[in-house]
C-alpha cells in the first residue's frame, strides 16, 4: 500500500459519485469504498505490513480519504434528493384550473323532511315531543282509548298480534295515554313514530308513520283545535289551500272531526287528518278534572301529507330505496 494508491482510490470514488444519477447507485458506491468490506477498510487491514515510519502517514491518509469521500457523498445525495423532489412536483402537480369532482352527498328522506317541518311548527307553539313503544298492549292501544272490544280494528285481519295481549301499535295514540298518566295539565305534546296495520295498496303500507298531538288546558275548545291545525296546514304547504272541516266519529274524541283537502289532480276532497275534543272518559281515566280541564287531540298520516306536498301518487315508493326517486329531494 502507498499514498498513491490511496489517492487513486479517492479519485475513483469522487468520479463515481459525481457521475451517479440515482440514490441507489450512490449508496452502492458508498458501500464499495466506505463499507465494512470496502476498499479503504481493506487498506487499513494492510497497515501492519507497512514500516513503522509509513504506518502513521498511511493511517492519516486513509482517514482523510474517508472524510473527503463521505463529504462528497452527502453533497451528491442532497443534489439527487432535490432533483427527485422537483421531478415529483412536476409529475404529480395539481392543476388548480381543472374543475373539481363532485362527491355523492346523501340527502334526507322525504318522510324525514316532513317530520322536521312538523316538529319545527309545533315546537314553536310550545309543544314538547315524547315517544312510546312500538310493541304495545291491549290497554294502551285500545282499552284506554275507549275502543270497544267489538271494534273492527281489533280483528286479526287489521292488526299484527304477537299473542292475545301484545301487538304492533296501530296508531301513536297510546303515547297520549302514557303522557296523560305521567304529567299534569296544562299539556302540549306531540309524538312521531311508526305504526302498523295489515293493509297494502297504492295508498296503504303495512308500516307507515303517524304524528299524534294533543293539548289539555283550561277552556280548550274546537276553535283552538281548528285554528292550530289550519295554521299548521297553511304553513306546511306554504299557501292558503282549500280545506274542509267536517264532523266524524272516533271512539276517543267527542265531538270528532276530519279535515279534508282538495286533491290537485282530481279536484276531489281527500281525507287528511282526524281530530276532536278528547273524550271526557279518557280524561277521567288519567285522573284529570273534566270540570276544569278539556283538551283536543289529532292524528296525521305523515306519508299522506308528504304525498300531497310532493305530488306523489303511490305511497309504496317511499320504501323501495329507489335512488332516482330519492335524489329528487336533494
Helix then strand then coil, % of the chain, to nearest 5: 45, 20, 30
If asked whether residues 262 and 307 sit together in one domain, one would say yes
- Tell me what pLDDT residue 55 has: 64
- Tell me what pLDDT residue 248 has: 94
Give a yes or no: residue 68 inside a domain: yes
If asked whether residues 218 and 320 sit together in one domain, one would say yes
If asked whether residues 29 and 141 sit together in one domain, one would say no
- Tell me what pLDDT residue 4 has: 67
Give a yes or no: residue 98 inside a domain: no
Distances (CA, A) of 237 to 76, 94, 96, 119, 152: 75, 47, 44, 15, 34
Give a yes or no: residue 103 inside a domain: no
Ranges of residues in the chain with a pLDDT under 70 are 1-4, 6, 38-59, 62, 151-157
If asked whether residues 85 and 133 sit together in one domain, one would say no
If asked whether residues 220 and 176 sit together in one domain, one would say yes
Q: What DSSP string describes 122-161?
A: HHHTTPEE----SEEEHHHHTGGGT--TT-GGGSTTTS-B
CA-wise closest residue to 232 among 221, 243, 222? 243
pLDDT in tens, 49-97: 666 666 666 667 767 777 777 888 788 888 888 888 888 888 877 777 8
Give a yes or no: residue 136 inside a domain: yes
- Could you tell me the residue range of the domain that residue 190 belongs to? 110-329
Give a yes or no: residue 101 inside a domain: no
If asked whether residues 270 and 299 sit together in one domain, one would say yes
CA angle 34, 38, 43 (to 5 degrees): 100
Compute, in degrees rounded to 10, the torsion defined by CA atoms 90, 93, 96, 100: 150
If asked whether residues 45 and 129 sit together in one domain, one would say no
Secondary structure of residue 279 in the 3-state scheme: coil
The CATH number for 152's domain is 3.30.930.10
| Domain tally, the chain | 2
pLDDT in tens, 94-141: 777 888 777 777 788 899 999 999 999 999 999 999 999 999 988 888
Give a yes or no: residue 171 inside a domain: yes
If asked whether residues 74 and 129 sit together in one domain, one would say no
Give a yes or no: residue 83 inside a domain: yes
If asked whether residues 87 and 114 sit together in one domain, one would say no
Boundary of a domain, candidates 91, 124, 151: 91
If asked whether residues 161 and 308 sit together in one domain, one would say yes
Binding positions are 254
The two beta strands, 128-129 and 187-196, are: parallel
If asked whether residues 62 and 179 sit together in one domain, one would say no
If asked whether residues 77 and 172 sit together in one domain, one would say no
Secondary structure of residue 82 in the 3-state scheme: helix
Binding positions for Mg(2+) are 254
pTM of this prediction exceeds 0.75: no
Secondary structure of residue 64 in the 3-state scheme: helix
Amino acid at each position: 500500500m502507498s499514498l498513491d494508491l490511496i489517492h487513486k482510490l479517492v479519485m475513483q470514488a469522487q468520479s463515481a459519485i459525481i457521475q451517479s444519477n440515482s440514490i441507489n447507485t450512490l449508496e452502492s458506491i458508498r458501500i464499495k469504498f466506505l463499507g465494512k468490506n470496502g476498499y479503504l477498510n481493506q487498506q487499513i487491514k494492510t497497515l501492519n505490513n507497512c514500516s513503522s515510519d509509513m504506518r502513521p502517514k498511511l493511517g492519516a491518509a486513509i482517514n482523510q480519504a474517508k472524510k473527503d469521500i463521505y463529504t462528497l457523498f452527502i453533497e451528491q445525495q442532497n443534489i439527487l434528493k432535490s432533483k427527485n423532489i422537483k421531478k415529483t412536483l412536476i409529475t404529480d402537480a395539481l392543476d388548480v384550473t381543472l374543475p373539481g369532482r363532485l362527491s355523492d352527498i346523501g340527502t334526507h328522506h322525504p318522510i324525514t323532511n316532513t317530520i322536521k317541518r312538523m316538529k319545527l311548527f309545533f315546537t314553536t307553539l310550545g309543544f314538547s315531543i315524547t315517544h312510546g313503544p312500538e310493541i304495545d298492549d291491549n290497554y294502551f292501544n285500545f282499552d284506554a282509548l275507549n275502543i270497544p272490544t267489538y271494534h273492527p280494528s281489533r280483528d286479526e285481519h287489521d292488526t299484527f298480534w304477537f299473542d292475545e295481549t301484545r301487538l304492533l301499535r296501530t296508531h301513536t295514540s297510546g303515547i297520549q295515554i302514557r303522557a296523560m298518566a305521567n304529567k299534569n295539565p296544562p299539556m302540549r305534546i306531540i309524538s312521531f313514530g311508526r305504526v302498523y296495520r295489515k293493509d297494502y295498496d297504492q295508498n296503504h303500507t303495512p308500516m307507515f308513520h303517524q304524528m299524534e298531538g294533543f293539548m289539555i288546558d283550561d277552556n280548550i275548545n274546537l276553535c283552538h283545535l281548528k285554528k292550530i291545525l289550519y295554521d299548521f296546514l297553511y304553513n306546511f304547504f306554504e299557501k292558503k289551500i282549500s280545506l274542509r272541516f267536517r264532523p266524524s266519529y272516533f271512539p276517543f274524541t267527542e265531538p270528532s272531526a276530519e279535515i279534508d283537502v282538495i286533491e290537485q289532480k282530481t279536484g276531489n276532497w281527500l281525507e287528511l287528518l282526524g281530530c276532536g275534543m278528547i273524550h271526557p272518559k279518557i280524561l277521567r281515566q288519567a285522573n284529570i278534572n273534566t270540570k276544569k280541564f278539556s283538551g283536543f287531540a289529532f292524528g296525521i298520516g305523515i306519508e299522506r301529507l308528504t304525498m300531497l306536498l310532493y305530488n306523489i301518487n303511490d305511497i309504496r315508493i317511499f320504501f323501495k330505496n329507489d335512488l332516482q326517486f330519492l335524489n329528487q329531494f336533494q
